[in-house]
A and B are shown apart, each in its own frame.
Chain A
């Protein structure tokens, strides 16, 4: 299909792929750190108000309003305050922060500087997933440049405000993307999520007030001050300002990360020439996961929906971290769910019984059904196990300390709700009706 989706002027991805885009020199030539200069002329409270006005919402998954989150940090606390950057990108379907970190880390660093000044933070930790070795090196090099240029260090771009910034690499645990598990990991412990409240804004790293923001969220902050909050807000919907990155993967001709308007629909993302360019000849969309593997799946008849927090919520799913996974009509939904369920079983931290026991149970049942060994009661059993981890709906009211339990149960509920006939067919026919074919039929591995 020809391009009909409204093209936007990219903000976050504008420099990706351009020569030396990750250097301070390149960033400055593009107007880098001008937003910080503007912010430093303002009072910290006014900076937070400006971010509130911009309607910037967190890009890590929950979509919480960023300015509001910043305003929860107590102003009169005698304790030091911290900023922790969440770069533990690990949810299947999500791969946007990788490019910010490798292609334009200074944009995130400028966001860090603005946030730190507004919040009175003098130490920031950039927590990156352990596997991001290259991205960690790029980010560290950018931090070194920022220190050398007097942006970080004893003074903040000439202002009497000390800011130190350190990169910390995780070591291969998805749970550390959960904000309190991230803080535990930053404290040198295993990543066991903490009970909330208290929330990190009040009791966070080392028991001190801490803001945890996603890489993309902070990379979005400079644009708020470059364009002005009103102009930034107007780029989006009433409740969600700016543009956003979406990650497109699975059964499409052109997977990748695309910066889109909040009004862009899933259908446009998949078919438009600017983005996914549709599916290979003869293939049709069967299902789409719109916001990372934990987001409830949508059917092919539900793609005319804007990829924005509120619109997807109406469809009883979520925009999450922007990970759109497309499955075509040759894809087995049992095997797809098995793949997703395995992830949560592997990554459960083991702290809460429903998640620790339930996630492998789901995986075992799905494997049994996929391999043709399923029995008539297995689908109800699967549904019961998922309900024990987190009932459906509503979203976010599970029986576990953190949302990993919800994330593990929601796909099961939604796959069973929409594609139950496929599960039944597996049990009835004692085999996978799709055989081995769909697995590897893209690329040259068929």
Chain B
């Protein structure tokens, strides 16, 4: 028999979370909770496993295809299991003027990954604007934002990632 998607603890969190999400919308508009429901699933599992997508669709009373359509449109949802740390480096204009391209090259060398690649520990991505142009260059690791980065600061941040 396939392993269950959730541990009992996760199942409790998922059910409570879905109930809370649905309560924010009109009763006939459960499907509006799709984005927060996908985030809830991803927070619990680290990504969106297919059986989880089917479960979200069932809870929100839509087809699994609809859940997949939404999940694949937005870049923050992981349809494949990412590395433990997802690093999103902003390389848009303001950040690039403050060295973001070089910061990305430094990271690529240090992690042994090209932008767009992943290993078990890291997923490295080039991203488009993190709305932090005044504190460039910046990046996000999972959901934590880091700004005004220097080499020393970045090295210190990376050193803390086990």
Q: State the A residues within 8 Å of B (CB).
A: 80, 89-95, 97-98, 125, 129-134, 164, 166, 168-174, 185-191, 206, 247-251, 255-257, 289, 293, 323, 325, 327, 331, 335-336, 339-340, 342-343, 346-347, 349, 438-446
Besides A94-B131, A342-B128, A343-B128, 7 new A-B residue pairs in contact (Cβ under 8 A), listed by A number: A98-B132, A171-B38, A188-B60, A443-B149, A443-B150, A444-B99, A446-B99
Q: Is B123 located at the chain interface by the 8 A CB criterion? A: no
Query: Given A171-B39, A187-B31, A251 and B97 touching (CB < 8 A)?
Result: yes
Contact status A172-B136, CB under 8 Å: no
Contact status A248-B103, CB under 8 Å: no
Contact status A442-B131, CB under 8 Å: no
B79-116 vs A, CB cutoff 8 Å, 1 = contact: the mask equals 00000000010011110111111110010000000000
Q: Which residue of B lies closest to A129 (CB)?
A: B131
Contact status B74-A130, CB under 8 Å: yes
Q: Is B4 located at the chain interface by the 8 A CB criterion? A: no
Q: Which residue of A lies closest to B67 (CB)?
A: A188
Contact of A343 among B36, B69, B77, B92 (CB under 8 A): B92
Query: Given A133-B143, A249-B134, A174 and B129 touching (CB < 8 A)?
Result: yes
Between-chain CB contacts (< 8 Å), 29 pairs = A90-B131, A95-B133, A125-B24, A131-B145, A168-B36, A170-B35, A171-B76, A171-B77, A173-B75, A187-B29, A188-B33, A188-B70, A189-B69, A189-B70, A190-B70, A190-B73, A191-B73, A206-B26, A249-B133, A250-B97, A255-B133, A255-B134, A293-B92, A339-B96, A440-B102, A442-B98, A442-B99, A444-B99, A445-B106
Q: Which of B22-47 contact A (CB under 8 A)?
A: 24, 26, 29, 31-36, 38-39
Contact status A438-B97, CB under 8 Å: yes
Contact status A247-B133, CB under 8 Å: yes
Write out the residue numbers on chain B whose beta carbons fall within 8 Å of the beta carbon of A191: 73-74
Write out the residue numbers on chain B whose beta carbons fall within 8 Å of the beta carbon of A445: 98-100, 102-103, 106, 137, 150-151
Q: Closest Cβ of chain B: how far from A7's Cβ, in Å? A: 20
Q: Is B119 located at the chain interface by the 8 A CB criterion? A: no
Write out the residue numbers on chain A whose beta carbons fall within 8 Å of the beta carbon of B98: 440, 442-443, 445
Q: Closest Cβ of chain B: how far from A158's Cβ, in Å? A: 24
CA distance A129 to B39 in the complex (A): 13
Write out the residue numbers on chain B whose beta carbons fall within 8 Å of the beta carbon of A94: 131, 133
Write out the residue numbers on chain A whose beta carbons fall within 8 Å of the beta carbon of B151: 444-445
Query: Given A168-B35, A249-B94, A250-B93, A440 and B99 touching (CB < 8 A)?
Result: yes
Q: Which residue of B lies closest to A330 (CB)?
A: B97
CA distance A173 to B106 in the complex (A): 27
Contact status A248-B70, CB under 8 Å: no
Contact of B134 among A166, A174, A256, A342 (CB under 8 A): A256
Contact status B92-A92, CB under 8 Å: yes
Contact of B75 among A134, A171, A443 (CB under 8 A): A171
Write out the residue numbers on chain A whose beta carbons fall within 8 Å of the beta carbon of B33: 188
Query: Given A438-B97, A439-B102, A445-B98, A92 and B26 touching (CB < 8 A)?
Result: no
Write out the residue numbers on chain B whose beta carbons fall within 8 Å of the beta carbon of A93: 93-94, 133
Q: Is B130 located at the chain interface by the 8 A CB criterion? A: yes
Q: Which residue of B lies closest to A446 (CB)?
A: B99
CA distance A257 to B94 in the complex (A): 14
Q: Is B11 located at the chain interface by the 8 A CB criterion? A: no
Write out the residue numbers on chain B whose beta carbons fall within 8 Å of the beta carbon of A91: 129
CA distance A149 to B123 in the complex (A): 43
CA distance A439 to B137 in the complex (A): 12
Q: Closest Cβ of chain A: how far from B56's Cβ, in Å? A: 10
Contact status B101-A440, CB under 8 Å: yes
Contact status A188-B31, CB under 8 Å: yes
CA distance A390 to B154 in the complex (A): 41
Contact status B101-A439, CB under 8 Å: yes
CA distance A162 to B16 in the complex (A): 25
Contact of A188 among B32, B97, B131, B150 (CB under 8 A): B32
Contact status B97-A95, CB under 8 Å: no
Write out the residue numbers on chain A whose beta carbons fall within 8 Å of the beta carbon of B76: 130-131, 171-172
